[in-house]
Each structure stands twice: as structure tokens, then as C-alpha cells.
Amino acid sequence: MLSYQHAYHAGNLADLHKHALLASMLAYLTAKPKPLSYLETHAGRGLYDLTSAEADKTGEAANGITRALSENWLPADHPLCQALDAVRAEYGATAYPGSPLIARHFLRPGDVTHLAELHPTEHQALSEITDFAHLHRQDGFQMAQAVCPPTPRRGLLLIDPSYEVKADYTAIPRHISKLARKWNIGVIVLWYPLLTDNRHAPMIQALRSDHPDALLSEVRFPPARAGHGMVGSGMFVLNPPYGSEAETRRIEALFARL
Ligand SMILES: C[S@@+](CC[C@H](N)C(=O)[O-])C[C@H]1O[C@@H](n2cnc3c(N)ncnc32)[C@H](O)[C@@H]1O
């Protein structure tokens, strides 16, 4: 039974790190006229309202994207700001895009999208705003293994689990190695939390040893509340697009002052 709901966390500091890098990579990849595939294993509901009871309860967005915008952390022409502006023009001033809607902003006719979301309520909500993608209500790793290598071959896969199933930490390196063997030119992106108990560390060690050329970006921030175990956000990127390394360093500098 899945209980995680991203509405409590949408727009928090981890989303800011993840979505800023994702938007930058997609802006670069879609600047070339060649079509691409965009895949997500854990899509979420795609659209959030930062005035919802869930967002209000945790206050995570207020300390994340809302603060970042009011303090101009990102330049107005940053790809994440462009996607956010477009989504707010469509859905209202307090909307926040999940990764599927950030991707939709950059994708073009001819690009092919596959999104997996297992939770019935989240999947239903996603289906109501998605007319640009193949939606899969199945395990995201199974979907990715079935679709890869995708057509078109060029493309990006985002793996953004909720890590509710603790076995994810040990299974992910195996999933990624298998996907990379099947799709050796794919940009494979994994988000992971930095945890006070270091539960993520063996997974990252395994990924680094299997893929020494991958790009790693980690940022640290104060916990959302006292005793909360997440104290940072990480992104692991196989076959990073040109410019990703410089972008990660820019984003890391923003977090360094928190
Ligand atoms: C962190 S959220 C996704 C957030 C989204 N990628 C974004 O950035 O806007 C993780 C999502 O994965 C879903 N989920 C959990 N286990 C899954 C699985 N095995 N396959 C597909 N989706 C799953 C959860 O219901 C949840 O909506």
C-alpha cells in the first residue's frame, strides 16, 4: 500500500534542486531539432496547488520555491522559471508543476513521453491533465525496462522514487545498470535524498563504482522540521547533456548559502 503523497512536499528545496536541473537538461536537449523520448518511472500527479492544505501543513514549499522566487535565487530566464510561468499562466498564480508538466513545457510534437505512476489517486489526477503522454499505471521500473531502449533513441529517463519501499535502495543500482546496458545513449537521471542515517550512501557508492563517469550533484539544507531525516538532495546523471556540470555547480552555489 503506497501512502506517500507528493502534495505535502511539492516545491520544497529538494524539488527545487531536482526540477532546476531537469528543466535545464530538457531545455538543452529540446534546443536541437531532433525528436526525443522522455520517460518517468515515478511521475506523481503532475500539478500541485501551493495553497492546498497539504502544502500548508508542512510549509515546505514556502521555504522552497516561494522563498526562491521572492529572493530571486534563479534568473527569470532560467528554464525552471520559464516552465513555472507557463504553468501559472494556465493554472493560476499558486500552481506548481510536477516533473511531467515541467517536461511538457519543453517537449515538442514528435517527442514521445511515457509516464508511470502506481498510486490510483495520483494516477487519476495525472491522467486529467495529461494529453501528451503514454500513461502507465504500473511499477515504474517495470515500465522503463519494457520501454527501453525507447523510440526515438535520443532521450531522458527520470527516476524519482518516494523510497517508501526500503528495498529500493538496494534494487536501484541493478535497475540502472540494466537500463544503461539496454540504452547506452540515454540520459538516465536518479533523484535521491541525503539522509541523516546515511541509508542512501551504499546505493551511491554502488552507482559510482558501476558508472564512474556519471555526474553527481548533491546539495544540503536544513531539515524541514526538527528531527526530519532528510537534510539534502542528490541527483545522479548518466550521459549528462552538454552544460549540465556547469549548471549543477551554479545550483549548488545557491544552496551553499542556506
Ligand atoms: C517523489 S513522487 C514523484 C514526484 C514527481 N517526479 C515530481 O518531481 O513532480 C514519487 C511518486 O511515485 C509513486 N510511486 C511509488 N512507488 C511507485 C512504483 N513502484 N512505480 C510507479 N510509481 C510509484 C508515488 O505514488 C509518488 O506519486
pLDDT digits (tens, 9 = 90+) for 193-230: 999 999 999 999 999 999 999 999 999 999 998 888 99
pLDDT in tens, 114-162: 999 999 999 999 999 999 899 999 999 999 999 999 999 999 999 999 9
pTM above 0.95, yes or no: yes
Separation of 140 CA from ligand 1 center, angstroms? 8
User: Which of 1, 3, 6 has most ligand 1 atoms within 8 Å of CB, for mutation?
Assistant: 6
- Nearest ligand 1 atom to alpha carbon 97: 9
Distance CA 156, CA 38 (A): 5
**Domain 6-256, what fold?**
Rossmann fold (3.40.50)
Task: Look at ligand 1, atom 26, and give the residue with the nearest C-alpha.
Answer: 44
Backbone angles phi, psi at 2, to 5 degrees: -90, 135
For residue 192, give the amino acid letter. Answer: Y
pLDDT in tens, 170-197: 999 999 999 999 999 999 999 999 999 9
**Structural contact between residues 118 and 74, judged by C-beta atoms closer than 8 angstroms:** no
User: Which of 42, 102, 160 has most ligand 1 atoms within 8 Å of CB, for mutation?
Assistant: 42
Which H/E stretch holds residue 25? helix 13-29
- Nearest ligand 1 atom to alpha carbon 46: 9
**Closest Cα partner for 171 from 181, 161, 157?**
161
Q: State residue 166's pLDDT score.
A: 86
Separation of 33 CA from ligand 1 center, angstroms? 30
152 Cα distance to chain centroid: 21
**Structural contact between residues 231 and 220, judged by C-beta atoms closer than 8 angstroms:** yes
Cell of 224: 524541514
187-195 β-sheet, strand order: 134-136, 112-116, 37-40, 155-159, 187-195, 230-238, 215-220
Q: Active-site residues: which are they?
A: 160
